[in-house]
Each structure stands twice: as structure tokens, then as C-alpha cells.
């Protein structure tokens, strides 16, 4: 089981455009954050969680060459606007690429990419998605994928937990959430890796702060925890110094082999 953090930045990316980004060391490549997403490989199965506007560059940078299914946390622009670039994966797959999400997210995909929601590509080389409402549990030969609803302002986000069939190893991905609910806690218990939204040091109405994410990670007590969806207020070196052991800031290109 292999996890790659393709991006760990907030919706605008880091550094922020046309802004001094005070306190952020731009000489540290770990402070250059593309929009948040992960890629999970379990045996021959390649799974993408979220497809933001940086997706094409993320695939090139991380040598992503296969895609069997896409799981969407929610329909905000920073999580879906790279979906047109799934076209090559659709062509290679030769059938509609399964895209899982909740009803609201799938409706957003229909509205933004109407030409791509079809049984066959609208023209050669076009993207072609098969939209599927995410159940609470999806069993595949290689793994089980569980979903849980997380609060994110007025938006309902799906958190995903991937459990490898052979080893029982578990990865939980809770991005874009103001809170980790009791159900989400229960699902992520004993996880090997947990990835949590930790936007910035000060509060936000729809994201956890860095301190809130650290509290959740401490309580979940996974073998390794990582913070994602970070803004320019978080400097990798400076904020890493005060992190508890086993809890780390993510960075683009981070790979965890389980
Ligand atoms: Zn986001
Ligand atoms: Zn969001």
C-alpha cells in the first residue's frame, strides 16, 4: 500500500499570489503547496482522492500513470477543477472512469463537466466519467473503502478510510472539515496513517486550525499523522518544531509506504 500526497495546500495554493507571504520561507520547497489531493496504490489498484486545478502537474511530478477510480471529498473548485485532465486516464482505461462522491458533489460534476458524464467519450480523447453515489462501505478485492460525513461550513464533505484487504493496514483522509465527528473517530481508530485538515494557526469557520488538527491526531493516535490543506500562515520548518512526535506537516510529493 502506497500513499502519495500530491498536494497539501489550501484552495488558493501556497504561496499566495500578489502577497508578501510574510513568515513563509520560500527557499524551502516544502512551503510550495499545490491544491490538496492524495493518490493511493493498493496492489494494482490506483485510486485518486480529489482532482484539483494542479492535477496535471501533480501527475507529472509524481509519475502517476494509472487511474482505476476517483473519490471526491466534495465539489469545491480546489477539489474538482482538474477533472478535465483525467482524459488520458479515461482513454487508457477504455471505459467510463468510476467517480465516487455524495449527491451534491456528483451534481456539481454534472454542471461543470457535462460533456464528460457519458457512457462513451463525446469525442475521441475526451474524459468520460461514470458517476456513482458513494456508499458508506465499498468492498473491492484489494481493499475496503469506507466513507463518513464531515462538516465543512454549509457543505457536507466525505472523509475516506482505505483498508488493505491483505494486511488490514488503514489510511484515513479527512480533508476540508471543521470537526472530526464521533463516527469519523470510530472509523479512523487504529489507523496506520491519518491525514487531517489543519488550515492555519487561527480559527476559520469551515476548517480545523493547526492546533485542532493536532488535538484530533493526538486522540486518534495513529502510527503516523499528517496535516494537509495548509495556508501560507504555516511555515514548514517553524511550525514543525512544535509538533508532537508521530504528527507531521505534509508536503507535496510526500510518499508513505505501508
Ligand atoms: Zn479545499
Ligand atoms: Zn472545501
- Note whether residue 24 is domain-resident: no
**What are the tens digits of pLDDT across the range 145-161?**
999 999 999 999 999 99
- Note whether residue 23 is domain-resident: no
- In the predicted structure, residue 64 carries a pLDDT above the cut 90: yes
Confidence grade of residue 106 (pLDDT, cut at 50, 70, 90): very high
Q: How far is the CA of 25 from the centre of ligand 2 (A)?
A: 26
Q: How far is the CA of 214 from the centre of ligand 2 (A)?
A: 20
- In the predicted structure, residue 84 carries a pLDDT above the cut 90: yes
Q: How far is the CA of 129 from the centre of ligand 1 (A)?
A: 22
**What are the tens digits of pLDDT across the range 226-256?**
999 999 999 999 999 999 999 999 999 999 9
- Note whether residue 25 is domain-resident: no
DSSP class of residue 130 equals: E
Residues in Cβ contact with 221 at an 8 Å cutoff, skipping those fewer than 6 apart? none
Q: Are 244 and 218 in contact (CB under 8 A)?
A: yes
Q: How far is the CA of 76 from the centre of ligand 1 (A)?
A: 6
Confidence grade of residue 26 (pLDDT, cut at 50, 70, 90): very high
Residues in Cβ contact with 146 at an 8 Å cutoff, skipping those fewer than 6 apart? 136, 137, 138, 160, 161, 163, 187
Burial bucket for residue 250 (CB in 10 Å: 0-12, 13-18, 19+):
buried
Burial bucket for residue 144 (CB in 10 Å: 0-12, 13-18, 19+):
middle
- C-alpha cell read off for 158: 466525505
In the chain, the number of structural domains is 1
Q: How far is the CA of 177 from the centre of ligand 2 (A)?
A: 8
Ligand that lies nearest to the alpha carbon of residue 150, given by its number in the listed order: 2
175-180: average pLDDT: 98
Q: Mean pLDDT across the chain, nearest whole number?
A: 97
Cα 218 to Cα 15, 112, 182, 226: the distances in Å are 28, 38, 15, 11
- Note whether residue 244 is domain-resident: yes
Q: How far is the CA of 176 from the centre of ligand 1 (A)?
A: 5
- Note whether residue 52 is domain-resident: yes
- In the predicted structure, residue 76 carries a pLDDT above the cut 90: yes
- Note whether residue 232 is domain-resident: yes
Q: How far is the CA of 176 from the centre of ligand 2 (A)?
A: 5
For 183, how many CA atoms within 13 A lie in the half-sphere containing its CB?
Answer: 10
What CA–CA distance (Å, rounded) separates 75 from 84? 14
Which is it for the CA torsion 50, 39, 139, 223, positive or negative?
negative
- Note whether residue 21 is domain-resident: no
Look up the CATH number of the domain holding residue 188. 3.60.15.10
What CA–CA distance (Å, rounded) separates 75 from 102? 9
37-50: average pLDDT: 98
Q: How far is the CA of 108 from the centre of ligand 2 (A)?
A: 13
Helices (H), 2-54: none
20-28: average pLDDT: 97
- In the predicted structure, residue 86 carries a pLDDT above the cut 90: yes
What CA–CA distance (Å, rounded) separates 188 from 190? 6
Helices (H), the chain: 55-62, 77-80, 87-93, 103-112, 182-188, 210-220, 236-240
* Phi and psi angles of residue 40, each rounded to the nearest 5 degrees, phi first: -120, 130
> What is the value of pTM for the model shown?
0.98
**Cα end-to-end span (Å), the chain:** 5
Confidence grade of residue 167 (pLDDT, cut at 50, 70, 90): very high
Model pLDDT, residue 190 = 86
Domain span at residue 216 reads 2-16+30-255
Model pLDDT, residue 146 = 98
Ligand that lies nearest to the alpha carbon of residue 7, given by its number in the listed order: 1
Model pLDDT, residue 247 = 98
Residues in Cβ contact with 185 at an 8 Å cutoff, skipping those fewer than 6 apart? 219, 220
Amino acid at each position: 500500500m502506497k500513499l502519495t500526497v500530491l498536494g497539501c495546500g489550501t484552495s488558493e495554493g501556497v504561496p499566495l499570489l500578489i502577497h508578501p507571504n510574510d513568515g513563509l520561507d520560500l527557499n524551502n520547497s516544502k512551503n510550495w503547496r499545490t491544491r490538496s489531493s492524495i493518490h493511493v496504490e493498493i496492489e494494482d489498484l490506483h485510486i485518486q482522492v480529489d482532482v484539483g486545478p494542479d492535477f496535471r502537474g501533480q501527475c507529472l511530478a509524481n509519475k502517476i500513470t494509472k487511474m482505476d477510480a476517483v473519490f471526491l471529498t466534495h465539489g469545491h473548485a480546489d477539489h474538482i477543477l482538474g477533472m478535465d485532465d483525467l482524459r488520458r486516464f479515461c482513454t487508457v482505461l477504455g471505459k467510463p472512469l468510476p467517480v465516487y462522491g455524495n449527491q451534491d458533489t456528483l451534481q456539481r460534476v454534472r454542471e461543470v463537466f457535462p460533456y464528460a458524464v457519458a457512457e462513451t467519450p463525446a469525442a475521441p480523447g475526451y474524459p468520460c466519467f461514470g458517476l456513482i453515489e458513494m456508499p458508506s462501505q465499498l468492498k473491492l478485492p484489494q481493499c475496503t473503502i469506507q466513507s463518513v460525513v464531515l462538516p465543512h461550513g454549509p457543505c457536507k464533505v466525505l472523509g475516506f478510510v482505505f483498508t488493505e484487504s491483505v494486511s488490514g493496514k488503514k489510511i484515513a483522509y479527512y480533508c476540508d472539515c471543521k470537526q472530526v465527528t464521533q463516527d469519523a473517530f470510530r472509523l479512523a481508530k487504529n489507523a496506520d496513517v491519518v491525514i487531517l485538515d489543519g488550515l492555519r494557526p487561527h480559527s476559520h469557520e469551515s476548517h480545523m486550525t493547526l492546533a485542532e488538527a493536532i488535538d484530533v491526531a493526538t486522540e486518534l493516535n495513529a502510527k503516523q499523522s499528517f496535516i494537509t490543506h495548509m495556508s501560507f500562515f504555516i511555515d514548514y520548518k517553524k511550525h514543525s518544531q512544535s509538533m508532537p512526535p508521530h504528527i507531521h506537516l505534509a508536503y507535496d510529493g510526500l510518499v508513505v509506504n505501508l
